[in-house]
Every structure is written in C-alpha cells, then in structure tokens.
Structure 1
Amino acid sequence: MSARAWWLFLALGLIWGIPYLLIRVAVADLPPVCVAFARTLIGALLLLPIAAMRGELRPLLRYWKPLLAFTLVEISIPWWLLGYAETRINSSTAGLLIALVPVLTAGLMVLSGREVLNGRRSLGLAVGLGGVVALVGLDIDVSNGWAVGAALTTALGYALGPIVISRYLSGVPPLGVIAASLAVAAALYIPFAIPAWPPQVTMKAAGSVLVLGVVCTAIAFLLFFSLIAEAGPTRATVITYVNPVVALLLGVWLLHEPLTPGMLAGFALVLLGSFLATSRGASQHGAGPVPIGSDESR
C-alpha cells in the first residue's frame, strides 16, 4: 500500500477502536437510545450536505426498501443494543464480542449459498465461536446474559448490513447510502429518544457523544471511502482485525477494565477464526462484501 493508504489505515484502526470506550462513558449518564440518536443525528448533519453536493442522494430514491433494511440491521438496532450491552459489560468485552463480525459474515455467506464451506472456513467458524465461548464462559456472569445477547445481535446486524449492500445497493454511491441511513436512523430514534432524554447531561457524556458523531461516524466514513479508493476494498477490510485490539487496550488503560485470561483467549481465538474464515484461501469466490457500514464497525 502507499504511504497515504497506511496513514488512513492507522487512523481508522484507532478511530473505529474507540467507540466502545466512548459509548461506555456516555451510557453512564445517558440512556443508550439517546446516545444512538445523538450520534446518528450528528453524523447525518455532517454527511448529508457532502453527499448532496456530490449528487449521491437522488439515486437512492428508487432503493428505499433495501436502504431501510440496511439502516435497521446496520445502524438503528445495533447501535441501540450496543449501548444497552455496555451498561452491563465492559467496553473491552463488548469490543471482543463484536470482533466476531467476520466469522458471522462468513457463516451467513455460506448459508446463503454465496460461499463454499470448505475445511479452512469450517475451522475458522469453529475457532471464532470457540473464542466467544471462552470469553463468556471465563469472564461474564450469567446475570449479564441479556447484555451478551445484545452485543452478539449487534455483531449479527453488522454482518447482515454488508450483505444487503452487496445484493441490493452495490450500484449506489456508498457515501449517499451512509448519509441517508444515518438520517433515517435518527428519525426512527426520535419517538424513543426524546421522552427518555434527561433534564441534564454531563460534559463527559456530551463530549463522548460529540466525538462519536463527528470523529467515529462522519470523519471515519470519509476516511474509509478514501482508504477503499487508495488501497482497494479487499485490503480495506483488514481494518476489522485492528479495531478490537484498540478497544481492548483503551478499555484496560483508560477505564481500568480487567485484562483476564478469558479476554486474552477469546481475543486470540476470535481473530484467528476471523482470519481463517474470511481469507482468500477459505473461499472459491473471494473475500465477500466490504463492510462499509460497520464501526467494528463500528
């Protein structure tokens, strides 16, 4: 890759590794739906004008059904559930659970008949799921089962989103898709977020949400599309393996979350499983769709 591509890659590795930390801080004072609403609203306000100036919104009108489906599975439901999960489990644990996205994507591609289930892919799926078992079995109390389920559902949504893009929106400008999806998601959150909005918001929570919306959403997607243009979609997906490392380190360093044997074992197994399940050698049809909507994505 070029020097510019490497800088974009490193910047995104950091930017998309910190949402878990920021969400954990924000949901300490704000309901999860309010955090998700504010983040999508800020991102939409920043990206919609850019997409409009580039003429990337009008082509979306005829694709409103898949756009709505993408919004629900990639943004609306996952970002709300992820906030809920982080009210009960550590940000680093949530980041490691979301790191299962490539494994889930590979499994969905196999189930849909678009990928072949060979030995390497089967091993990757088994190893990745084993990582989740290790993480949950060694570290997470049974009482937090709903939070684990919410995080895993978020990962499933992040895995479904790129498949919707690949099947129904592949010919549509990606920045327009993201900008419109953020706007739709913000509108969908309004009936739930406005009644739940607290009378006062701490500076810490407000700052976390602002960084989530500006840096981790608007700027991150602009950088990601630049990385795809510079290095190609296949190399851009490698960012998936960097984000959980950043999430783990930031959670341990800044929030003083414990670094446990279960986290280390789960982290190693999930990343190894993701590599095996999504590497080119695992499939006769390539590496699968580019996760343009995830900040694992997210």
Structure 2
Amino acid sequence: MDTRKPLDLPAVSLMLMLCLIWSMQQIALKATAADFSPVLQIALRSGVGALLVVTLMAMRRERLTVAEGVWKVGCLAGALFALEFLLVGEAVRHTSAGHVVVFLYTAPVFAALGLHWKLPNERLAPLQWFGVGLAFVGIAVAFMRGADKGGEFSGVLWGDFLALLGGAAWGSTTVLIRTTRLSSLPATQTLLYQLLTGFALLLPVALLTGHTTFNPTPLVWLSLGFQSLVVSFASFLLWFSLLRRYLASRLGVLSFLTPLFGVALGAWLLAEPIEPGFVTGAVMALCGIVLVSGYGWISTIIKRGDSTSRR
C-alpha cells in the first residue's frame, strides 16, 4: 500500500523553494560564464557535492553499494548525468538561461517515452500521448523563433538544441534509475554515483577543451558555493526526501514552475529578452509535459468530478 500522502502546506512551500533554487542554477552559470567556465564550474560543484554526500554517509555509517555490478549501472547513470550538464554548460554559452531551463525541463517527456517502452505498468494513456504531441509541437514553435532570422541555424538556436539534448539525457537517467537496481538504493548513494562520475568525467573535459577560465571574483565564489552546497547537495536530498513522503505526481506538477521562474528571473536579473514566439512554444510544451507527468493527479480530479456530478 502506498503510504505517501497528498501535498500539504509545508510540502508546497518546500517545492516552491526548490523550484526557485533549480531555476537559479542556470542564472548563476550564465551570470558568471565570462569569469568562470560553465563546464568547469559544474565539474567543481559536482566534486564538492560528492564530498558533502560522502561526509553525510560517513556520519550515518552508510556504505556505498558496489556488489553484483551495481557500480557499473551507477557509473552509467553518472555518465548520463555528466553528459546532461556538459550540454547545459555549453548551452548557456550560446543561448539565454531562460531558454536553457525551459528546454531542459522537457526531460519528463523523454523519460515517459522510455518508461513506456521498458515497463509494462508505465504505459502511456491517450491523454499522455496527447501531452507528448503537444510538448513536441511547442518545442518546434519555440525553435522556429530561433530560426526566423533568414532561416539561419543561429548560435541561439544551437544553444537551445543543446539544452534540449540535455533534457533527453536527464530523461534517460531517470529511465535507467527506475529500471535497474539503482531504484532500490538510498538516495544518497544514487546521488553520490552521479556526482562522483560527473566530476571524474567533466573535469578532464573542461581541461582538454580549454574551458578553464577562473577569475575568482566575489560573484564567482558565491555562485560556486550556491551550486555546490545548495543545488548539488541540499536541494537534491530534499527532493528525494519529499518523494518518499508525498505523491510523486503532485510534486512533479509543481516542479514545472521551475521553467517559469527561470524565464522570469532571466529577464529580471540578466535582462534577457522574452520573445512572444518562444513564450507561445514554451507554454505549449509545458502544458504537454504537465499532461504527461501529472496524468495520475489529473485523472483523480476528473474521477472526483464525475462522482460528484452523479450524486
């Protein structure tokens, strides 16, 4: 029996805080890109986050599970994690932070398609398929905004595409975790596999590609501290904690406030333009994603409405 409960005021408050934190990570990367290479920053934040998780596990006397090949799957999840943030790091160099966060949050659509193929109990319902179609139409509309200047494949459009690939990598990570023994590991261990592998892969990539800019300004140190302590460590552990207590479908719907916060904060803090065409496509995509991820919640509302009307 599922003992997780519907959302209450503390859960909604914590989710709003998490959405704000997650939207700010792209803003921080973009704001410091000239002084701190995004890929290098993500590598270092992963390393610091891994150290914090190791410290927490040591305090709990928790050991990392490596038996029966779990470490191989864990490293694969970490490689997908590294790929996701390598794409994000490159994307913020070409497009706005608001665009990156919107395209990155297409991940649930890719995850839903993968789980539909891998798990019989995760088959998509007709309303979810409609949501998938709506999301991809919205993505196409948002991309058309980037290609309206003489039809050229502009730098902004390239950044948008990289962010979309980042969303696909994130969705693939979700499928891998849900369909392997990683799903039974404590959240700290799954997170540690991702952070350690991400650090081990992203740091050499940053060094080999020359993405090593580091000008230690106060803003740079603030960004690294925020990314390491708040994003990579505290926010992810809080998210996993909420998933253990509350219904995932309700939390998932609230998480889609993150792209909205990202666009708004990008316009406010970084003076990023908000193009009407992009907003139209983004709203369509997000509505489609809500239909896919929030199907259980939507179905419950519809059933309640039907039962009420029959009384």
User: TM-score normalised by the shorter chain: which range applies?
Assistant: 0.7 to 0.9
Of 126, 139, 148 in structure 2, the residue corresponding to residue 132 of structure 1 is 139
Moved more, 144-153 or 264-273: 144-153
Note if 1:231 corresponds to 2:236. no
Of 278, 281, 289 in structure 2, the residue corresponding to residue 274 of structure 1 is 289
Report the AA paired with residue 238 of structure 1: V
Q: What residue in structure 2 maps to residue 204 of structure 1? A: 219
Deviating 4+ runs (over 6 angstroms)? none
Q: What is the rounded CA distance, in whole Å, between the counterparts of 2:249 and 2:60 in structure 1?
A: 25
Of 42, 45, 63 in structure 2, the residue corresponding to residue 39 of structure 1 is 45
Note if 1:51 corresponds to 2:64. no
Of 177, 182, 190 in structure 2, the residue corresponding to residue 165 of structure 1 is 177
- CA gap of 1:80–1:147, structure 2 versus 1, over 3 A, is same
Note if 1:187 corresponds to 2:200. yes
1:233 to partner: Cα distance: 3.1
Note if 1:86 corresponds to 2:92. yes
Measured on the aligned residues, the alpha-carbon RMSD in Å equals 2.3
Work out which of the two has the higher radius of gyration on C-alpha atoms and give 1 or 2. 2
Q: What is the rounded CA distance, in whole Å, between the counterparts of 1:52 and 1:130 in structure 2?
A: 47
Moved more, 155-164 or 61-70: 61-70
1:167 to partner: Cα distance: 1.2
- CA gap of 1:175–1:21, structure 2 versus 1, over 3 A, is same
- CA gap of 1:236–1:175, structure 2 versus 1, over 3 A, is farther
Secondary structure, aligned partner of 2:23: coil
Q: What is the rounded CA distance, in whole Å, between the counterparts of 2:33 and 2:277 in structure 1?
A: 25
Q: What is the rounded CA distance, in whole Å, between the counterparts of 1:200 and 1:276 in structure 2?
A: 44
1:10 to partner: Cα distance: 1.7
1:55 to partner: Cα distance: 4.0
Report the AA paired with residue 263 of structure 1: F
Report the AA paired with residue 175 of structure 1: T
Report the AA paired with residue 257 of structure 1: E
- Does the aligned pair in 2 maintain the 1:23–1:209 contact within 8 Å? no
- Does the aligned pair in 2 maintain the 1:99–1:240 contact within 8 Å? no
Report the AA paired with residue 98 of structure 1: L
- CA gap of 1:235–1:121, structure 2 versus 1, over 3 A, is closer
Note if 1:149 corresponds to 2:136. no
Q: What is the rounded CA distance, in whole Å, between the counterparts of 1:203 and 1:80 in structure 2?
A: 24
Q: What residue in structure 1 maps to residue 108 of structure 2? A: 102
Q: What residue in structure 1 maps to residue 237 of structure 2? A: 222
- CA gap of 1:2–1:121, structure 2 versus 1, over 3 A, is closer
Gaps of 5+ in 2: 1-6, 300-311
Q: What residue in structure 2 maps to residue 289 of structure 1? A: none
Q: What residue in structure 2 maps to residue 260 of structure 1? A: 275
Q: What is the rounded CA distance, in whole Å, between the counterparts of 2:275 and 2:170 in structure 1?
A: 26
Q: What residue in structure 1 maps to residue 306 of structure 2? A: none
1:237 to partner: Cα distance: 2.3
Aligned residues: 283
The alignment's TM-score, normalised by the length of structure 1, stands at 0.86
Secondary structure, aligned partner of 1:79: helix
- Superposed CA deviations along residues 213-249 of structure 1, whole A, max 9, x for unmatched, are 1111111012212322332433332343111011111
Q: What is the rounded CA distance, in whole Å, between the counterparts of 1:191 and 1:268 in structure 2?
A: 37
Secondary structure, aligned partner of 1:209: helix
Of 179, 190, 195 in structure 2, the residue corresponding to residue 177 of structure 1 is 190
Q: What residue in structure 2 maps to residue 291 of structure 1? A: none
Q: What is the rounded CA distance, in whole Å, between the counterparts of 2:58 and 2:72 in structure 1?
A: 20
Secondary structure, aligned partner of 1:46: helix
1:250 to partner: Cα distance: 0.5
- Does the aligned pair in 1 maintain the 2:249–2:296 contact within 8 Å? no
Report the AA paired with residue 57 of structure 2: A
- Does the aligned pair in 2 maintain the 1:124–1:277 contact within 8 Å? yes
- Does the aligned pair in 2 maintain the 1:27–1:83 contact within 8 Å? no
Report the AA paired with residue 163 of structure 1: V
Q: What is the rounded CA distance, in whole Å, between the counterparts of 1:60 and 1:4 in structure 2?
A: 36
- Does the aligned pair in 2 maintain the 1:27–1:205 contact within 8 Å? no
